Structure 1
């Protein structure tokens, strides 16, 4: 049982023991206070975070808007671009799936999620469509997150970019894995990420 539910239950038990019905206004005040306490714990944990600093730096300034939004689904491929955990040379090298961090699309030394979003020449057409749909000039993650929160149309445009680009990057990774001369570290595996690929691209 969560601490919020536990406290709510304890208040109801105490009210019943006094022969009183639960006070809806008190319940609402207590729920708001508990929610704010939880949000503050999240903020504190994020501010002290040692990992995921790019993602934290983009979301923390707009955390309240992010949590209260009524639209926008974090899809599998949108999450890859936001977190940097996906088919990026930087990440694949870190987990031992690629011999270097190099971008295999344009040759740049470090293929990060931000490189894919903002710079890689391979995705110029998809990026132009994203810029046209969102009106963004600055494609830093902070700016992109702000645009996503500003309207459903912009959220969908960013999600569409991520879907288009990441599905192609994943397909290229699968081809490298399946190649007869594939490096041992690239060989096709049947672990969690492989099962995730198959769920999204059978």
Structure 2
């Protein structure tokens, strides 16, 4: 459900999906609800009915506790390490933000799961190697695409002009949290660059299926024996 909410590929981890969706893991969320339930039950057992503002405060306290427990759980990530380390320092701000919806291509940039050589080769096995098809780099990743690939110099200049020279993943997350103008700058970069990479991938796939571009199979000599297939 969270993967679908952030428009991500099914290959992204549960931690990445929950973080991007701003969804506290269900076990911690359930613990928060249970805490509020038992506090209300204890108050009613004592003969009082807690007023709405008190219940609201209990809910906020329980949520704060759940977020802090989640932060501790993410202290030594085993999966989606770069994304977790980028969001964990600003976890509360990320969860409480009021604007900003993740697009399909922005999620690719944040997770590294998308139209990148590393993902296409090592995770889904659709390409033979991890090289970048847009420059001479041997390893195409989200970081390479955002910070280094010379094919995207123009888009990179527009991004740095909007959010500043630091375009590492933690800096992109902080930029998204600053509000609509910076969010749009990061999203525009992702949309333009990833859509171009996707189109290049579609062209490669069409060429691979084009029989005129396939190497011809060499016919085996049968030395005059008609029973041997060519």
Normalising to structure 1: TM-score of the pair? 0.80
- Please say if 1:176 is aligned against 2:204: yes
Displacement of 1:9: 3.6
RMSD of aligned C-alpha atoms? 2.0
Asked if the contact 1:118–1:139 (Cα under 8 Å) also holds between the matched residues in 2, the reply is yes
- Structure 2 residue aligned with 1:29: 57
Asked if the contact 2:117–2:127 (Cα under 8 Å) also holds between the matched residues in 1, the reply is yes
Asked if the contact 1:123–1:165 (Cα under 8 Å) also holds between the matched residues in 2, the reply is yes
Displacement of 1:29: 3.0
Picking from 125, 135, 144, the partner of 1:106 is 135
Picking from 117, 121, 125, the partner of 2:150 is 121
Return the structure number with greater helix share: 1
What are structure 1's unaligned runs of at least 5 residues? 183-202
- Please say if 1:152 is aligned against 2:180: yes
Asked if the contact 1:101–1:109 (Cα under 8 Å) also holds between the matched residues in 2, the reply is yes
- Please say if 1:77 is aligned against 2:105: yes
Higher radius of gyration, 1 or 2: 2
Asked if the contact 1:11–1:22 (Cα under 8 Å) also holds between the matched residues in 2, the reply is no
Asked if the contact 2:131–2:138 (Cα under 8 Å) also holds between the matched residues in 1, the reply is yes
CA distance in 2, matches of 1:40, 1:34: 10
Aligned length: 181
Worse-matched range after superposition: 170-179 or 151-160? 170-179
- Structure 2 residue aligned with 1:196: none
Asked if the contact 1:117–1:127 (Cα under 8 Å) also holds between the matched residues in 2, the reply is yes
Post-superposition Cα deviations, 1:110-169, rounded to whole Å, max 9, x if no partner, equal 1010110111111111111112222x1121111222222123101111011101111111
- Structure 1 residue aligned with 2:91: 63
Displacement of 1:14: 4.3
3-state SS, counterpart of residue 143 of structure 1 = helix
What are structure 2's unaligned runs of at least 5 residues? 1-28, 211-230
- Structure 2 residue aligned with 1:162: 190
CA distance in 1, matches of 2:35, 2:91: 25
- Structure 2 residue aligned with 1:197: none
